[in-house]
A and B are shown apart, each in its own frame.
Chain A
Amino acid sequence: GQNIDQPTEMTATEGAIVQINCTYQTSGFNGLFWYQQHAGEAPTFLSYNVLDGLEEKGRFSSFLSRSKGYSYLLLKELQMKDSASYLCAVSHGSSNTGKLIFGQGTTLQVKP
């Protein structure tokens, strides 16, 4: 079957660093996405990894290990506005379809 696992909830302190892990088992792999979703809003795209290694974008970084079926999203210098749900998604199947399967999301609460 196809499965994506993320922790349900995490709590961190403003200014700190937090790492959100994601493990996956899918039929085929064309890339891994991370999204941020604030309550009541649509998900916004954060990052896309297709090769192993670390991709850095400002305060956010995403890492992928395809052999381990593992990714993490690293958030640095946490701000209160980073309180949101973070969704891990894997693109699978034929590469031209772009179909995504999502994890249940990790709700991050940033405290002062």
Chain B
Amino acid sequence: SQTIHQWPATLVQPVGSPLSLECTVEGTSNPNLYWYRQAAGRGLQLLFYSVGIGQISSEVPQNLSASRPQDRQFILSSKKLLLSDSGFYLCAWSASGGQYFGPGTRLTVT
């Protein structure tokens, strides 16, 4: 069966510091992968998606970037965090008939 992992689970970072969040998927090959953000009390917003290694599409202009160095690995990064980057970051993978989320990383920028 397929599983999706994200780490860390929680993170507190100062403004201006770098960020690296990692997501890995097991039990499937060549999945579509996604990064979403959910700000407090808000809906989910798609940030990036990837249909293959090295293929990244950005949905909204922002302070973040994404990379997919391996088939089942998706990384979300920032060089300098802003207060507005705080939120719940969710990685997801999709197969026909479903899109499934990892456990998420709760990021607080102070």
Residues of A that sit less than 8 Å from B by CB: 31, 33, 35, 41-45, 48, 50, 87, 89, 91, 96-105
- How many B residues, CB 8 Å from partner? 21
* Chain B: minimal CB distance from A8 (Å): 11
List of A residues within 8 angstroms of B81 by Cβ: none
A44 CA to B99 CA, complexed, in Å: 9
Given contacts A42-B102, A44-B101, contact A97 B43 (CB under 8 A): no
A16 CA to B42 CA, complexed, in Å: 28
Known contacts A45-B99, A48-B97, A103-B43; 15 additional CB pairs below 8 A are: A33-B98, A33-B99, A41-B103, A42-B104, A43-B90, A45-B98, A45-B100, A48-B98, A97-B32, A97-B51, A98-B94, A99-B34, A99-B59, A104-B42, A104-B43
A43 CA to B42 CA, complexed, in Å: 13
Q: Enumerate 24 A-B pairs (CB-CB under 8 Å) in ascending A order.
A: A33-B99, A41-B103, A42-B102, A42-B103, A42-B104, A43-B90, A43-B101, A44-B101, A45-B100, A45-B101, A96-B32, A96-B51, A97-B49, A97-B51, A98-B32, A98-B34, A98-B94, A99-B34, A99-B46, A100-B34, A100-B99, A102-B45, A103-B43, A105-B43
Given contacts A87-B43, A105-B43, contact A42 B49 (CB under 8 A): no
List of B residues within 8 angstroms of A50 by Cβ: 97
- Tell me, yes or no, whether B11 is within 8 Å of chain A by CB: no
